Amino acid sequence: MKKFILSIFVIASFGFYVIWQGANNSSNNLTMGTTVIPSGNTNPPSGGSTPVAIVSKPKSTPNPTSVVSPPKNGIYNDGTYIGSVADAYYGNIQVEAIISGGRLVDVQFLDYPQDRGTSVRINSRALPILKQEAIAAQSANVNGVSGASETSPAFIQSLTSALSQAKA
């Protein structure tokens, strides 16, 4: 009887936790894995039950008197930079940042936890998201991936190390 009551308590606690996390994630920012539809397009993507978030971009009028030109070399020196080894609890993460034209163009994973099934599953989902966010942000200032609470900070630490070497 005690085991039954304990089981019910654990299941209920988990349920409340999932609901609480879902409410926090949906109110703070978009979660990874959603499809973003720019404003004006109200048709969801076809085929499947992918969650959809509709995001509207602020409208701005261009100022014809100001022209912004991109920096000539970007913020990084071109080359390949290897980050420090960072502990992700179940293994280490080490990345290589590839800079071209002064911009972060690719992130390669030299090492990541992959000796357990759970690590493989988590990292096969989290690492591409972290890589994509870093390239888009042109920095290691990225959001952690839900479910990869050890992998995300280790990725950020290793990429920060690599990008600090590449600073122009």
Residue-wise pLDDT for 111-152, tens only, equals 999 889 999 999 999 999 999 999 999 999 999 999 999 999
The closest of 94, 130, 129 to 111, measured between CA atoms, is: 94
CATH of domain 79-166: 3.90.1010.20
Residue 19 — φ and ψ, nearest 5°?
-65, -45
- Give the start-to-end residue ranges of the domains of the chain: 79-166
Model pTM score: 0.57
pLDDT digits (tens, 9 = 90+) for 90-112: 899 999 999 999 999 999 999 99
Coil/strand/helix, residue 57: coil
Dihedral, CA of residue 124, residue 152, residue 113 and residue 117, to nearest 10: -50
Cα–Cα distance for residue pair 134/101, rounded to 1 Å: 16
